[in-house]
A and B are shown apart, each in its own frame.
Chain A
């Protein structure tokens, strides 16, 4: 609602450590996330981006489904709703439609968004209602102990693919773009400052913004796929496995092969749903 952007730079680089407290429900901490889980890094990047936008807590509504990632709304002092596995987009659609002035953020997991909630995901993207969707993508169902998700790479081991997955994964960004999302980006928990910048842009964008965030589940994905420790896992998947849009543009195709591209991948201007609805009302009511 309010966007009195702070004077500071994005990402946050002040001397004084960033104060997260005004955004958190202290009584709900400590969080449930395992040591080494990337979800907390994502949350911190998000809070810094929100701070940079100058949004007030009461002007934000955060909606989630079910999963470790979907626990995020419990920890933030916004208007929050923790709903059903896969249905966050549908609930968020109702929230936004009832009160278009709210800044609506959906935090979801790869399983929540793309398996059980795949249908709602594409329709949210198609409708282009103003909301920002953060897909905490750890390639696995963390909360239910490590079943493979639709973003799990081929060959990856999970409790449901003991000998390696034979299913091709979804590319969250391609899917979002094809379905009609007007802002599509990718970040990683490893590149926390870059993620803050990406999220800042995503939140500012009017329309459906989807940010696919590569993030680690050392407890299940890491263990099953023989990652020695969290830092090795983050390094091999998030750091060495990805490349920024700018780097990708400079390099010959053979050098970028197999790398996942980070940054803002797609941006389009299209009528936002609530605005479109208002136009319709104006037209049929002959205003």
Chain B
């Protein structure tokens, strides 16, 4: 982190959702289509007070479902507007059909997803099954560890998505309740600096540009569908560099610069834990304890998950003795969570690849505390020492499991 702060900042305490709403206020998008769902509801609720108080000139449309909310954002973005929304869990699931429309039409929509488990059974608490389900939908995904990062990511997301080399929709993810409803100390940029940073949105093309008429989403069959998908894939690939650039530029304005990954005590570590979002904080605490005992352990926290920074991850983990990847979602394929498999694949070509295991934790808000993290690191240390350790399993389940018929 560089220390030169250019912009004026206010230190305050905010919940994750308040911070996201505040960022949205400062960004002042043109259109916001929304439908409420726990735990993201208060993002739009607070943003609606900014609308009511005239602090933004956003058209806020409170539609009848998330299907319509994302459709409204797509319509608005096609017309050249800066469009945003916020959702969670089933809300994102209901947007699924539209997620592919947004990315296929190359619309730079910004969506805040407050991570929550998917039904059934019904659960309102945190895990990453919702956004992991959308990992192949062509959206860029940033995972935020803290309230500060959620705020900072929202502001950067606008620039990343709208960059001419990218023009893709983007999801900013933060952990439901853990981050969304906890108050943390945070520094807020002043409105002007945010406006200067995001700039005015000048779409490459828009339906309202009558001099350059265009059609969006039309039929593209065997001869043209694939080239269009190829362009989309290339844009996704190219977005990685843009995420790096914007993360640096943001640092120049705020004093908080961001890369693709966060490495914590990783350099000389022999054993590493990979984890997304807020649980990284818990693992870092465990690492601090073990470092005090002289154990060489560290953490790798990917901030960018889509596009997948496979080269950077392989480089960061190359030469470690053992790695455990913690997934807050299961792929339900008997082979582990999505992060685990992507990381394992990223390391395949590395000659100094570590041994690697995957653990699924914290589904539906199941507790994950420092003791759990210590256990996991302990197991990974055993793996490093050559002991036989299970490739993939669940950890830290609740004690109250009922049979499916039990209700």
**Contact B62–A80 (Cβ < 8 Å):** no
Give B95-141 interface residues, CB cut-off 8 Å to A: 119-120, 122
A82-B38 contact, Cβ under 8 Å, with A150-B64, A162-B48, A162-B52? no
Assess whether B90 is interfacial by the CB under 8 Å rule: yes
A118-B64 contact, Cβ under 8 Å, with A80-B407, A159-B45? yes
Query: Count the A residues whose beta carbon is within 8 Å of the partner chain — how many?
Result: 21
- A84 CB contact (under 8 Å) in B38, B49, B119: B119
In angstroms, Cα B44 to Cα A68, docked, is 21
A144-B64 contact, Cβ under 8 Å, with A82-B122, A84-B119? no
Give B32-71 interface residues, CB cut-off 8 Å to A: 35-38, 41, 45, 48-49, 52, 62, 64-65
A144-B90 contact, Cβ under 8 Å, with A84-B119, A86-B65? no
Main secondary structure of the interface of A (DSSP, over half): loop
Main secondary structure of the interface of B (DSSP, over half): loop
In angstroms, Cα B48 to Cα A159, docked, is 8
Task: With a 10 A CB-CB cut-off, give which of A66, A143, A144, A163 has the most chain B CB atoms.
Answer: A144
Assess whether A160 is interfacial by the CB under 8 Å rule: yes
- A115 CB contact (under 8 Å) in B41, B45, B49, B65: B65
**Contact A115–B36 (Cβ < 8 Å):** no
B53 to chain A, nearest CB (A): 10
**Contact A116–B35 (Cβ < 8 Å):** yes
**Contact B64–A147 (Cβ < 8 Å):** no
Give A52-89 interface residues, CB cut-off 8 Å to B: 66, 80, 82-86
Query: Count the B residues whose beta carbon is within 8 Å of the partner chain — how many?
Result: 18
The chain A residue sitting closest to B35, CB to CB, is A116
In angstroms, Cα B178 to Cα A133, docked, is 37
The chain A residue sitting closest to B52, CB to CB, is A162
The chain B residue sitting closest to A158, CB to CB, is B62
A162: chain B residues within 8 A (beta carbon): 48-49, 52
In angstroms, Cα B144 to Cα A134, docked, is 42
**Contact A144–B52 (Cβ < 8 Å):** no
A147: chain B residues within 8 A (beta carbon): 36, 62
A224 to chain B, nearest CB (A): 13
Assess whether A145 is interfacial by the CB under 8 Å rule: yes
A83: chain B residues within 8 A (beta carbon): 119-120
**Contact B36–A163 (Cβ < 8 Å):** no
A226 to chain B, nearest CB (A): 18
Assess whether A141 is interfacial by the CB under 8 Å rule: yes
B38: chain A residues within 8 A (beta carbon): 143-144
Assess whether A148 is interfacial by the CB under 8 Å rule: yes
A240 to chain B, nearest CB (A): 30
In angstroms, Cα B36 to Cα A173, docked, is 26
B36: chain A residues within 8 A (beta carbon): 141, 144-145, 147
B406 to chain A, nearest CB (A): 11
A281 to chain B, nearest CB (A): 31
Task: With a 10 A CB-CB cut-off, give which of B48, B49, B62 has the most chain A CB atoms.
Answer: B62
Interface string of B272-285 (1 = CB under 8 A from A): 00000000000000
The chain A residue sitting closest to B407, CB to CB, is A80
A150: chain B residues within 8 A (beta carbon): 64
The chain B residue sitting closest to A149, CB to CB, is B64
B120: chain A residues within 8 A (beta carbon): 83
**Contact B45–A145 (Cβ < 8 Å):** yes
Task: With a 10 A CB-CB cut-off, give which of B36, B37, B49 has the most chain A CB atoms.
Answer: B36
A145: chain B residues within 8 A (beta carbon): 36, 41, 45
In angstroms, Cα B60 to Cα A148, docked, is 14
In angstroms, Cα B41 to Cα A78, docked, is 32
The chain B residue sitting closest to A85, CB to CB, is B90
B52: chain A residues within 8 A (beta carbon): 162-163
- A148 CB contact (under 8 Å) in B37, B62, B119, B122: B62
In angstroms, Cα B407 to Cα A259, docked, is 42
B94: chain A residues within 8 A (beta carbon): 116
In angstroms, Cα B66 to Cα A115, docked, is 11
A121 to chain B, nearest CB (A): 12
In angstroms, Cα B122 to Cα A82, docked, is 8
**Contact A66–B62 (Cβ < 8 Å):** no
- B90 CB contact (under 8 Å) in A82, A84, A115, A163: A84
A75 to chain B, nearest CB (A): 11
In angstroms, Cα B41 to Cα A147, docked, is 10
Task: With a 10 A CB-CB cut-off, give which of A66, A148, A159 has the most chain B CB atoms.
Answer: A159
**Contact B64–A66 (Cβ < 8 Å):** no
In angstroms, Cα B49 to Cα A197, docked, is 44
The chain B residue sitting closest to A71, CB to CB, is B122
A144: chain B residues within 8 A (beta carbon): 36-38, 41
Give B1-44 interface residues, CB cut-off 8 Å to A: 35-38, 41
A116: chain B residues within 8 A (beta carbon): 35, 64-65, 94
- A66 CB contact (under 8 Å) in B35, B45, B48, B122: B122
B67 to chain A, nearest CB (A): 8
The chain B residue sitting closest to A73, CB to CB, is B407
In angstroms, Cα B94 to Cα A148, docked, is 20
A123 to chain B, nearest CB (A): 15
Interface string of A156-186 (1 = CB under 8 A from B): 0001101100000000000000000000000
User: What 7 A-B pairs come out closest when comparing CB atoms?
Assistant: A115-B64, A116-B65, A144-B36, A160-B62, A162-B52, A147-B36, A144-B41
A-B residue pairs in contact (CB < 8 Å), sample of 11: A66-B90, A80-B407, A84-B90, A86-B65, A115-B64, A116-B94, A144-B36, A145-B36, A145-B45, A147-B36, A162-B52
* 11 further contact pairs, Cβ within 8 A, besides A116-B64, A145-B45: A66-B90, A82-B122, A83-B119, A83-B120, A84-B90, A86-B65, A118-B64, A144-B41, A145-B36, A160-B48, A163-B52
